[in-house]
Chains A and B, each alone.
Chain A
Amino acid sequence: MAENLYEVVWPCGERRQKIQPLAKRLDTLNGKKVAQLWDYLFMGDEVFATLEDELRKQYPQVEFVSWREFGNTHTVNERELLASLPQRFKDLGVDAAISAMAC
């Protein structure tokens, strides 16, 4: 007995996000301001403190904008907070950002 053949379609939703170019990397961290974004998980406060120490060893003139400035990035208002970041970064003169902690 011949088996039925099925012609089937692709089951996924259409991708709506195009490739986003990444920001231009910095030529040095000296004299640059680096923002810290934290989701208040997995000891990120300890991690950022250590990162500050280590980055300053290599680039003594690097400046940081603490995660305390932005608040928790993983909470009820996270969409609004993330949407506000481009303007916040401009206002604060931020050159680059480190976002943590993923898992």
Chain B
Amino acid sequence: MGQAAATSVGLGMPNLPVAMIPGHPGVQSPEELRANVVAVTAWQVMENLLNQPDVQEMEDDPGSRDIVFRGTFEEVNDYFFEREWSDGLPIVPPTMEKIKEFLSYTDRDPNEVLGVVLPASRAVSIWAVAVNGVMAGCKPEYMPVLVALAEAMADPEYGVEHSGNTPGAETLIVLNGPIIKDLKFNYEQGALRDGFKPNTSVGRFWRLALRNIAGFLPHKTDKGSFGNTFRVVLAENEDALAKIGWPSNAADMGFETGDNTVTVSRMTSGNVIVSVTGATPEEIMPYLADSVASCTRWEIIFTVGGITYGTLRPALVLTPILAQTLARAGWSKDDVKQYLYKHARMTARRVETYTETWADFPIISLKHQVNLGKLPKDFAESDDPKRMVPIVLDPDDFMVLVSGDPLRTNAYTFAHNGYLGFPTAKKIVLPADWAERLKK
């Protein structure tokens, strides 16, 4: 109910009437649910259909350049925290001087609007990007990365409006291109650990932008049951990729290897795959495939029609030494994806248990979906409930990345949130004087 009320403000309908079902339908028997709907919901629905709600006004917001407060560092932080403009960590006060420094690292007009995003229906402007970049503790020269991220946030394909849903998945930002070294992003040991200013502060920027630009506020429009803290930026090890001749993630996302890009996708969970042992792909890949498959659980609904067909994009992050070992045997990145498609599988019974019994995203059966032409034949090669079926529709649906400690044989896998945070990549556009500015 709180989310409905908060979201209706962003839609320009703060007086939109809402009817309530006591409790949660998911834990009620059909009899209990019916009794609740009869006793409460039906009457509220009738009232909502027949009684005109009072007209409401929305308070005017300050202008984007208005000075809203003057005070010490601590006072500014208290002021911002009390108004839900910060995440609880200290923010760098967004002064006009700091904002202008950030704006000097983009050739874009500060007033340019990249899109309007839900739930607050607010404009993603270059100005607002700079303000939140300052607050996150970014350096001014990170601004081109922040602008590209804002473009991804505003792209409907990503689906930022779903970022407050109850699974509470968190965005993974993947960075590619020479800008990794230009700005000193960490791409080796501890690649997903805080402690590296660009990785950490850009990751924090994303969540501050979700809060202040998109309008996701916990207990209101952000209903993640548990949620996660923000993820630091994952930069690929492009030196390792170049050595083995594998394309970077930028190329996988439709750009060129060597392009500066950001890719955002919402990941529900992640798990490390420890101590991968073997000198050949045949020895290494079974463990990796098993781990990728077992990390994906209920998320299979995004592949098989529980909510969507084929929007799942699980990720596998290989350390350079693992990628090199695979490449030494002649394996390409495509070979890895093909292997995962054939071997990162789960039983048909398990898929149907998620969709039909445990999580209530009914598809009737995998065979039914194949017969409808919605799923490929791989999903119903027999009637055996123990048959193994893919977790994606196409080998290219797996994201394969290279990063982390160059000499450790560990890997990492992420489960994905389907179309509710679909992988979306944007090119990072540098200002004309980028090279000169970096030399200073």
Contacts and interface: CB of A to CB of B under 8 A. Distances in A.
B56 A19 contact: yes
A11 to B, nearest CB: 5
Grouping DSSP codes into helix (H, G, I), strand (E, B) and loop, the A interface class, with mixed when no group exceeds half, is: loop
B99 A19 contact: no
Contact of B61 (A3, A10, A18, A40): A10
Interface of A: 3-22, 24-29, 34, 40-43, 46-47, 50-51, 54-55, 58-59, 72, 74-76, 79, 96, 98, 101-103
Contacts of B69: 7-8
Contacts of B62: 10
Contacts of A47: 21, 25, 33, 37, 41
B45 A98 contact: yes
Contact of A13 (B1, B3, B24, B122): B122
A24 to B, nearest CB: 7
B70 interface: yes
A11 B128 contact: yes
Interface residues of B, number: 82
B53 interface: yes
Contact of B116 (A16, A43, A79): A16
Interface of B: 1, 3-4, 10-16, 18, 21, 24-26, 28, 30, 33-34, 37-38, 41-42, 45-46, 49-53, 55-58, 61-73, 76, 79-80, 85, 93-96, 99, 116-117, 120-125, 128, 131-132, 135, 156, 166, 208, 212-215, 223, 307-308, 311, 360-361, 419
Contacts, number: 186
A25 B116 CA distance: 30
Contacts of A72: 307
A14 B317 CA distance: 38
| Complex A-B, nearest 10 residue pairs according to Cβ-Cβ distance, in ascending order | A13-B122, A17-B121, A54-B42, A6-B93, A20-B12, A13-B213, A17-B12, A10-B62, A50-B37, A43-B25
13 contacts: A8-B69, A8-B95, A10-B64, A10-B66, A11-B128, A13-B213, A14-B123, A17-B116, A22-B13, A29-B46, A47-B25, A50-B38, A103-B3
A41 B85 CA distance: 32
A15 B122 contact: yes
B4 A9 contact: no
B93 A8 contact: yes
B420 to A, nearest CB: 9
Contacts of B214: 13
A11 B94 contact: yes
